[in-house]
Amino acid sequence: MMIRISIALLLALAPVTAFANSCPSQMAAIDAALPSASLSEADMAKVKELRKQGEDLHQAGDHAGSEAALGEAKKMLGI
């Protein structure tokens, strides 16, 4: 019985772990693209705000929200 509960718990948490692991790699991609990005000041500020929002949401455990914010920043950067 305990093994079944453990397996069910592992399967339930697997998607959360996948989201949690992709947030840092998305943040790194944004950080790498920022220095060479040719955006207006307003767009650059928006990308930086989305990057910060993504990190804050990641740290709060909202990985779906983090993915959305980071995805928008990546879209603006063209990556």
DSSP 24-66: HHHHHHHHHHGGG----HHHHHHHHHHHHHHHHHHHHT-HHHH
Domain that holds residue 17: 2-77
Q: What pLDDT score does 30 carry? A: 98
The amino acid sitting at 61 is G
Task: Judge whether 74 and 46 are in contact, CB under 8 Å.
Answer: no
> Can you give the pLDDT at residue 34?
97
pLDDT, tens digit, 9 for 90 and up, residues 20-71: 568 999 999 999 999 999 999 999 999 999 999 999 999 999 999 999 999 9
The domain total for the chain is 1
